[in-house]
A and B are shown apart, each in its own frame.
Chain A
Amino acid sequence: MSSEVNDRIAEDTRPSGEGGDRAQYAVCAFLALLGTAVIVDALGIPHITSGTDPVGPRVVPMILGVLLMVVAVAYAVDVARGGRGEPEAGEDVDLSQGSDWRTVLLLIGAFVVNAVLIERLGWVISGTLLFWGTAFALGNRHYVRNLLIAVTLSLVTFYAFAIGLGVNLPAGVLQGIL
């Protein structure tokens, strides 16, 4: 293998903190919680069995809920023994620094804006906000150029997909104008 590939592997295996990766216990907790939720939900399902369905709708969720809890425990044991998963590497990924939460929160914001506004304002406007907002979140500061790109992209996709190919995209307030 090339030295470059080796460099990358070396980078990946660098432990993220002192000792083990304790954040993994949060995953175990999440799994246990999810297992509980699945079982609670299953208990609320009427237990209906019949000649054509001797199992009923409850059994599989119950099994799944129990398995989730079992796996949560097994995972915790693995973590306690020092097991850890490799964070995913990639061409644009720099794992040598911590996560950039500001960017992620801004992206989520832009995403939610689109989800809330898509039916009211229509895809062309909400999509423009989405692209412009995500480009901004990712650190691009060409405000005017990005706006032009965003508007063009939204208009082109709307005409190509909604009008050309019959894909479901709302026109929103621009109904009748587009």
Chain B
Amino acid sequence: MDNLNNLLQGFADVVAPMNLLLALIGVVIGTAVGVLPGIGPAMTVALLLPVTYGMEPVQAFIMFAGIFYGGMYGGSTTSILLNTPGESSSVVTAIEGNKMAKAGRAAQALATAAIGSFVAGTIGTLLLVLVTPFVVDFAVSLGAPDYFALMLLSFIAVTSVLGSSRIRGFVSLLLGLTIGLVGIDSVSGQQRLSLGIPQLADGIDVVVVAVGIFAVGEALWVAAHLRRKPAEVIPVGRPWMGRKDWKRSWKPWLRGTAFGFPFGALPAGGAEIPTFLSYATEKRLTKHPEEFGKGAIEGVAGPEAANNASAAGTLVPMLAIGLPTNATAAVMLAAFQSYGIQPGPLLFDREASLVWVLIASLFVGNLLLLLLNLPLAPAWAKLLQIPRPYLYAGILFFASMGAYAVNAQPLDLFLLLTLGLLGFAMRRFGLPVLPLIVGVILGPRAELQGRRSLQLSGGELSGLLGGPVSYIVYTVVVLVLVWPLVRRFVVRPLRERSA
């Protein structure tokens, strides 16, 4: 009941006219930037961080909630109208969505995506309200060794479970951990890897890393391979759905939500698996199997809902434990840190009003998104035709502005360029970006928790084994690491023998 009161208080704060306006602005610019081709939700949030720099945390997070869902929705519009998913989570939406658009049903595809996102986002946020307090209660009981184990699990999950090549995932993770090492060691006060540059003593700001790797890296990469003929955009009217479309959409929305939320909430989640599961399920259950591959509305409704519900789910570990499980959550975590706020179980005690305002704004932002995007879809579609030189010039312009504004030092611009070149190289060599960002954010905290654990045991390695949680987590880590070997040396020979 306490939480309900807190949530109601959060709503009361959000509906103040000024705050409502901020939520609206957040949704509009989030969608506008998210719709731009080549800009996924994580990059949208990273690029728009500076907008909130001058604000109070409460105002900033109200706006952020809007940007978060706006960026997500913008991405799905791009995949449907251009067949160009901005992020791996909307790959599945593009499969059927773009076919529908080509068959003249763009309006229905956009409508089922928008309404499905709203349904999934609302249910997802509701589940977030219900589940998070339990996770917080659980997280409060965790000690330093458990945290260390959980962070280790995060590292293993982003490198091994997601992505196609583990070795490349580890390369990216280690690069991130190295970047996270730069600066003064928080325990002993010694400088590490700061190369004698005083500005590096404070470390490299996570925002600079995120903007450099996501925005500058992407802009440079695309610039080097710019398609001279722009992709064709399918013109679209106002999104709407007939009775039959509603009938075919509502079940996939709910099923997609059921897939998305739990996967998002797991420390090793993400949106790729649930969107694929949702697509496969709808394909199996549909009464119109002949339409799959040619533009079946279920194939848009389900995965879009799964995608949004998973986004809401990622906020559970992000807020309650301080573990980011996807790129967008990682950037959100960086945003919290830039306000000197550390997500984790104590957040709900120390910054209760802030958290509940954020959650209330997620509801409000989601509703605004629906009201806004149904009539504005044709306008968003026009944004897809923006000349590419302006698009990427604009990305570099805003990236530079944001990175400079963090600390007001030109050195950050050189760091931004260096990180941008690193991002370029990672795209060239197929190194995933997410492990690097997670490494930068969690690396220093994992070290802190690890050293704290060893402090309790006086330096004995046994100090890393805490309560049952750490045992379970290490078991999972070992299983994840060993599984491919088992498959290679046990399962495959057995199968070959039986075959």
Contacts of A103 in B (CB 8 A): 223-224, 226
Docked-complex contact A94 and B293, CB < 8 angstroms: no
Given A64-B181, A71-B167, A85 contacting B431 (CB threshold 8 A): yes
**A10 interface residue (CB < 8 Å to B):** no
Interface hits, A103-148 → B, CB 8 Å? 103-104, 107-108, 110-112, 114-116, 118-119, 123, 127, 130-131, 134-135, 137-140
Which residues in A have their C-beta under 8 angstroms from that of B447?
Answer: 60
- Please tell me if A42 contacts chain B, counting CB pairs below 8 Å: yes
Q: How far is the CA of A85 from the CA of B222 in the complex (A)?
A: 17
Which one of B167, B397, B405 contacts A134 once the chains associate, using CB atoms below 8 Å?
B397
B396 touches A107 (CB 8 A): yes
B396 near A157 with CB under 8 A, answer no
Out of A71, A110, A112, which one reaches B171, CB within 8 Å? Answer: A71
Nearest-neighbour CB distance to chain B for A147, whole angstroms, equals 12
| B177, CB-defined interface residue at 8 Å | yes
Partner of B224, one of A56, A74, A84, A101: A101
Contact A170-B408, Cβ < 8 Å, known A41-B192, A90-B84: yes
| 19 extra interface residue pairs, beta carbon distance < 8 Å, beyond A31-B174, A54-B458 | A21-B429, A41-B193, A48-B188, A57-B188, A61-B192, A67-B174, A75-B167, A78-B167, A90-B222, A92-B226, A94-B227, A95-B225, A100-B224, A104-B224, A111-B417, A130-B393, A138-B393, A165-B51, A165-B55
User: At the interface, yes or no: A175 with Cβ under 8 Å from chain B?
Assistant: no
User: CA–CA, A68 to B170, complex, Å?
Assistant: 9
B223 with A31: CB separation less than 8 A: no
List residues of chain A with CB within 8 A of the CB of B421. 108
Q: Does B141 contact A (CB under 8 A)?
A: no
CB within 8 Å for A138 and B187 given contacts A91-B78, A100-B226, A165-B53: no
Q: Given the known A-B contacts A41-B193, A75-B167, A86-B430, are A127 and B226 also in contact in the complex, defined by CB atoms under 8 Å? A: no
Seen from chain A, the residues whose Cβ lies within 8 Å of a Cβ on chain B are 1-2, 4-5, 21, 23-24, 27, 31, 34, 38, 41-42, 45-46, 48-49, 51-57, 60-61, 64, 67-68, 71, 74-75, 78, 83-88, 90-95, 97, 99-101, 103-104, 107-108, 110-112, 114-116, 118-119, 123, 127, 130-131, 134-135, 137-140, 149, 153, 157, 161, 164-170
- The 8 Å CB contact of B400, one of A48, A64, A111, is A111
Q: Do B400 and A130 have beta carbons less than 8 Å apart?
A: yes
Q: Is the CB of A140 within 8 A of B396?
A: no
Q: Select the stretch in B303-311, B350-358, B383-391, B484-492 that faces chain A.
A: B383-391
Write the nearest CB–CB distance from A5 to chain B, whole angstroms: 7
Closest Cβ of chain B: how far from A74's Cβ, in Å?
6
Supposing A64-B178, A78-B167 touch, asked if A115 and B223 sit within 8 A by C-beta, the answer is no
| Contacting pair B401 A161 (CB below 8 A) | yes
Which residue of chain B is the closest to A111 with respect to CB atoms?
A: B417
* B455 interface residue per 8 A CB criterion: yes
Q: Which B residues, 358 to 391, have Cβ-Cβ distances below 8 Å to chain A?
A: 387-390
Q: Is B329 an interface residue (CB 8 A)?
A: no
B451 sits at the interface (CB 8 A) = yes
CB within 8 Å of A: which B394-429 residues: 394, 396-398, 400-401, 404-405, 407-408, 410, 413-414, 417, 420-421, 424-425, 427-429
Structural contact, B53 and A134, CB atoms closer than 8 A: no
Complex CA gap A53/B185 in Å reads 12
Minimum Cβ distance to chain A for residue B323 (Å): 19
A86 to B168, CA, bound (A): 11
| Cβ contact of B50, chosen from A24, A84, A161, cutoff 8 A | A161
Could you say which of B168, B178, B389, B400 contacts A85, with CB atoms under 8 Å apart?
Answer: B168
Question: Would you give the shortest CB distance from B180 to chain A, in whole angstroms?
Answer: 10
Tally of A-B residue pairs with Cβ under 8 A?
240
Q: What separation, in Å, do the CA atoms of A165 and B221 have in the docked complex? A: 32
CB contacts (< 8 Å) of A138 on chain B: these are 223, 226, 388-389, 392-393
The answer to whether A169 touches B389, judged by C-beta atoms less than 8 angstroms apart, is: no
> Is the pair B404, A104 in contact by a Cβ cutoff of 8 Å?
no
CB <8 Å contact, B401 and A123: yes
| Distance between Cα atoms of A163 and B167 in the complex (Å) | 47
Tell me if A165 and B54 are in contact (CB < 8 A): yes
State the main secondary structure of chain B at its contact with A.
helix
B82 within 8 A of A: yes
Q: Closest chain A residue to B224 by CB distance? A: A99
* 6 pairs, CB–CB < 8 Å, chain A vs chain B: A91-B84, A92-B227, A111-B396, A165-B55, A166-B54, A168-B407
Q: What mask results when residues 164 to 176 of chain B are scored 1 for a CB within 8 Å of chain A, else 0?
A: 1101101100110
Within 8 Å CB of B401, what residues of A? 123, 127, 157, 161, 169
Contact between B95 and A2, CB atoms less than 8 A apart: yes
Instruction: Find out whether the CB atom of A140 lies under 8 angstroms from the CB atom of B390.
Output: yes
Q: Is the CB of A54 within 8 A of B455?
A: yes
B104 in the interface (beta carbon within 8 A): no
| Residue from B38, B83, B393 within 8 A of A4 (CB atoms) | B83
CB distance from A14 to the nearest CB of B (A): 13
Taking the closest CB of chain B, its distance from the CB of A128, in whole angstroms, is 9
CB proximity of A1 to chain B, nearest CB, Å? 6
Q: Contact partner of B410 among A116, A139, A164, CB < 8 A?
A: A116
CB distance from B37 to the nearest CB of A (A): 4
Q: What are the residues of chain A within 8 A of B170 when measuring CB–CB?
A: 71, 74
Once bound together, how far apart are the Cα atoms of A54 and B187, in whole Å?
11
Q: Is the CB of B396 within 8 A of A134?
A: yes
A84 touches B178 (CB 8 A): no
Closest approach, in angstroms, between the C-beta of B80 and any C-beta of chain A? 13
- Pick the most buried of A61, A78, A110, A168: most chain B CB atoms within 10 A of its CB: A168
Query: A51–B187 Cα gap in the complex (Å)?
Result: 12
| Interface presence of B206 (CB below 8 A) | no
Closest chain A CB from B18 CB (angstroms): 14
Pick the contact of B231 from A55, A83, A92 — CB < 8 Å?
A92
CB distance from B431 to the nearest CB of A (A): 6
For the complex, what is the distance from the CA of A41 to the CA of B182, rounded to whole Å?
11
Q: Are A24 and B429 in contact (CB under 8 A)?
A: yes
The yes or no answer to B128 lying at the interface (CB within 8 A) is no
Name which residue of chain A comes closest to B294, CB basis: A2
In the complex the two chains form, is B225's CB within 8 Å of A134's CB?
Answer: no
Return chain A residues, CB-CB under 8 Å to B389. Answer: 134-135, 138-140
